[in-house]
Amino acid sequence: MIDQELAQLESVYQTIVDFLVRYSFQLVGAIIIVLLGLWFAGKVSKGLFRTLERKGLDITLANFIANVVKVLFIAITVIIALGKLGISITPFVAALGAISLGAGLAIQGTLSNYGAGLAIILTRPFVLKNTITVKGYTGIVEEINLATTVLINEDNERVTIPNRHIVGEILKNTEQNSLVEGEVAVAYGSNPEQVISLIEETLAAIAEVQQAPATKVGIEAFADSGINISYRFWVPTPLFHQTKFAANLAVFNALQQAGVQIPFPQREVRMLSEQPATK
């Protein structure tokens, strides 16, 4: 029994020795190829990213391109290393295809997010620091990832939106600014041109109000109780609400100081006396 075990151990030992003798140089060569390939892929990826960044390309797109190139170089390196060992990669490709199919069916939602993220990076409907509105959420684009896009609103809240809910939806991009809309009613006895000029001067005195696009002030409607004057102006997105509130207060104070009457809803009721019936 002991002799048989020793014979088996000797056989295993001899097999290992034969393998090392036969394939040692190939194994060492494959390891060296992999290490050099990883080093080279990292260098190329970093160099490409810096070049694209200097050219002014969007940082998200530049990072994506650099990572794709890195993965391609690593894949080529692995194929060369396997060939060095005399291993055919055909079975691996077939197995990878089967695994990819099963994984794709299991994580369709996640994959659709990645596909939508790739579409966003390539088509660039918005970039970092743009102000977008999608699915009822408005904010400044803080991050663009393959799976999600992160927005920051004026209250410093982070809104994470899966990319599949962005691609194919109605998307509003106002870049760095947001539109503020306001309205005030003045009495019919007021001079509309004077009121419009007064509101324009008041808004122009507010530092946060952008000069371009220009502020627009005009008659919105002729209502039951007065003339509705509407005004529209642009402000930096992080200052949206505080500028809107300050502008409304400034317009109210300016109208009050100018003696312009701001009417309130009124309804006139007339009582008609009933005539006595004649006999």
Residue 70 phi, psi (nearest 5): -60, -45
b or e along 13-47 (b: 16 or more beta carbons within 10 Å of the residue's beta carbon)?
A: eeeeeeeeeeeeeeeeebeebbeebeeebeeebee
Alpha carbon of 216 to those of 26, 191, 243, 256, 261: distances in Å? Answer: 76, 18, 16, 21, 22
Q: Is the pLDDT of residue 184 over 50?
A: yes
Higher pLDDT, residue 230 or 273:
230
**What average pLDDT does the chain have?**
81
Could you read off the pLDDT of 83-108 as tens digits, one per residue?
Answer: 766 666 666 666 666 666 555 554 45
Position 243 scores a pLDDT of 92
Q: Residue 220 is encoded by which pair of tokens? A: 């919105």
- Describe the strand order of the beta sheet including 177-186 as a list of residue ranges: 177-186, 227-236, 216-222
Q: Residue 230 burial by CB count (10 A; 0-12/13-18/19+): exposed, middle or buried?
A: middle
For 246-256, what is the mean pLDDT? 94
**pTM (predicted TM-score):** 0.57
Say what the alpha-carbon torsion angle 80, 84, 87, 89 is, to the nearest 10 degrees.
10
Q: Nearest to residue 175, comparing CAs of 101, 236, 261? A: 236
Higher pLDDT, residue 114 or 83:
114
Please give the single-letter amino acid code of residue 199: I
